[in-house]
Structure 1
Amino acid sequence: MGLYVETRIRAGLDEVWDRSQLPDRHQRWDLRFSEIDYLPCAPGEPQRFRYATRVLPLLTVHGTGVSAGERNRPDGTRTSALRFASAHPLSLIEEGRGYWRYIPDGAEVRFLTGYDYRPRWGRFGRLADRLVFRPLMGWATAWSFDRLRLWCERGITPERSLRHALAELFVRIAAVLVTAAVMPLAVAVGPVLAVAGAALLLPPLPGTPAARRCLRRPPERTAGHGGSAAAPTALLATLEQS
């Protein structure tokens, strides 16, 4: 899989599962989606869904997908897999697939994802994806995972954590602008660079989501009690037939 994100959430397995699997809860914390709706399906069939992402105030990109989950695995872990695609001409993502894994580890749940997709628009799309879109998607996934962690661990709702993030961003930008405004022009460069560096490097407050708190590469570990972060290939294979 091209993108990988993992976080540890000190909460119950059922709570993490419900807040990531139920559409009305999932869309609250995941920055990548503005709307997620389940579509009708027959009993026993994989769940089909529709998603929407608001790119600009007046531009929303739509797509569809299919997912399947394993809630009661013999090793105590849970897994879901999905395929997704968008026919919207302005969607850089043409189609893709991915998985989520839920691995109990003492008082915590290792919540992780791996996914990849094929960009459209030919050579230009591949270049734009590699330089801009894919890094942005990785950041948005990690930021959203930490937003979910704050909701589960500390009761900070996704709406409140977004306000925290915007307020903190405003303070950091304001600090740079104020420093530039009050310092004499002849000596402003050094202090402004110092404040800008601090604004970029200082860690976010504990109640503010941060992508840097998540793992972005699969950890090297020995498989045990569901410890492997490997993709659920069998479950993904079932969706290829859907």
Structure 2
Amino acid sequence: MLLLALDTATPAVTVALHDGARLLAHFDHADARRHGELLLPAVDHVLRTAGRETSQLTDLVVGVGPGPYTGLRVGLATAEALGSALDVPVRGLCTLDAMAYASGLGAAPDESPFIVATDARRKEVYWARYADPVTRLSEPAVARPEELAERVAGVPALGAGARMYPEVFTGVRPDLPEHQSAAALAALAVHRIGVGSDFLPPRPLYLRRPDARVPSNYKVVTPR
């Protein structure tokens, strides 16, 4: 196995290469405005670092969000293009699931359940509740932090969304991941392949309409 994982659903541009037994190389850089500029060079970087070629890839996994429209589609379009060009299967994973899994790779939350929350912009967060690093208890959702106050108060929480609103996510753990990591995404994918778990299709999980919209009222201009 040679699995390439990538995700652009959070401000992080993150790519990792995994051989099924260990992480071979990874790249992580947080810059929400440069997903399109950084992603393919990051793919090239991890392959060169590991001394591997694209022709050796056997699997591709991509984070499907939830995440902002523009950044998320960069990773999905890239994964689909690579999969098509290389005739390699492309599998999707929820970005929040991989962040939850990352908590178990280091210092796991002291209690269960715990919350993963990322920045959804518009003063909202994408979030989900987990029983442990591999068991999600709720579907990913988008909400204003104040709407969640009673449900998340005191519950261990990780992610940039939780850090942005510590008055709501009072159990936020600053020692746990802030952004997505493709290293965790790759490790979770290897785990799921090993136990025969299902994957998501490589399609975006937006949860709401995009920020950019076609104007509904055009100014009528009549010839003189």
TM-score by length of 1: 0.28
Which of the two has greater helix per residue? 1
TM-score by length of 2: 0.30
